[in-house]
Amino acid sequence: MLLSRKHSIIINLSLILVFSLSTYAGDDKKKKETATGTPVLWRDPGNIASRDLFLGPGGEAMKPDLTRITFIKEETGGYSKKYRVRDGQGHVWVAKLSKEAQPETAATRILWAIGYQTEIPYLVPDLTIEGKGHFKNVKLEARPQNIKRLDLWKWKDNPFIGTKEFQGLKVLMILIENWDIKDSNNKILLARNEETGQKDLVYIISDLGATFGKTGGVFSRTRNKPADYVEAKFINEVKGNRVDFRFSGKHQSLFDDITIEQARWVGALLAQLTDQQIQDAFRAANYSPEEVRMLSDALKARITELTTLPQR
């Protein structure tokens, strides 16, 4: 009788283990199936001069309903204080409360304008979050239900290595003085392509807050300091067919292989932006009129440096 009971226990435990393993394998297989799709970093933006850089990638349709903002939970990680919140229409957002909110709002619009895939942010100058208080210059970043956030992607290991689009993205990081080049700031989104009906794996830089200051070491780098951005040098010189950019930040070696042709390509896209569009990107981030002028002039000067690189 005792032996029979032991056998029964062993059999039951074995069945539980087999079931658990099969369930885990099924879940893992399902996860892999849902994470398949076409990798996308950049799409042809069409008429760049027609893009609305004040409203940005979300346009008028996705603007948050500010009639009521309720707290859901605190988001962990990163430099900035962040809350997950719900707006008056029930849509979910991540609210970033720090000096990164302004530069990230503007930087996202610049990248999106020329075809790069980005987050969907709006800068709210004054925002009350129920139960948390009143805040200035809050960036609300959309969390649509139809977009699944997957794992991070790596700067040195991704499907776009060597392409002009990836090289152009690196140029943009120097253009906006993003010194925080790290894999944990990158994200892959699973989204449905409205044109093909298929799934896309959308590669974005999900954190562009360490921008529009200057790159440098731990004690010299800055973020959201227009005066520093104006003073920072962009291109050192041209060495053969390579452009030697002035960059001092994480993963400096990433920027050693950018050719004149690749830099001119992204410069030609940026050159299609109008003065009004560039100003709108900074106005959307609630910079003062003087800061808008300073940042716009400095950005345009850098674009000119790219478009006037010598052809080889």
**15 within domain boundaries:** no
Q: What is the mean pLDDT of residues 151-158?
A: 97
pLDDT computed for residue 18 by the predictor: 40
Q: Which domain holds residue 246?
A: 38-307
What DSSP assignment string belongs to 98-153? STTHHHHHHHHHHHHHTTB----EEEEEEEEEBTTEEEEEEEEEE--TT-EE----
**33 within domain boundaries:** no
What DSSP assignment string belongs to 3-62? HHHHHHHHHHHHHHHHHHHHHHHHHHHHHHHHT--EEESB---S-GGG--TTTGGGTTTT
Higher pLDDT, 79 or 137: 137
The one-letter amino acid code at 312 reads R
**312 within domain boundaries:** no
List pLDDT tens digits, range 205-258.
999 999 999 998 888 999 999 999 999 999 999 999 999 999 987 788 899 999
Specify the number of domains making up the chain: 1
User: Residue 32: pLDDT band by 50, 70, 90 thresholds?
Assistant: very low
Alpha carbons within 13 angstroms on the beta-carbon side of residue 52 total 9
Q: What is the pTM of this model?
A: 0.88
List pLDDT tens digits, range 162-195.
999 999 999 999 999 999 999 999 999 999 998 8
Q: What is the mean pLDDT of residues 273-299?
A: 98
The β-bridge relationship of strands 199-205 and 38-40 is parallel
Query: What is the chain's Cα-based Rg?
Result: 23
**28 within domain boundaries:** no
Cα-Cα-Cα-Cα dihedral sign, residues 103, 109, 112, 117: positive
- Residues recorded for the chain: 312
**147 within domain boundaries:** yes
SS3 of residue 278 by DSSP: helix
**87 within domain boundaries:** yes
User: Residue 55: pLDDT band by 50, 70, 90 thresholds?
Assistant: very high
**30 within domain boundaries:** no
**9 within domain boundaries:** no
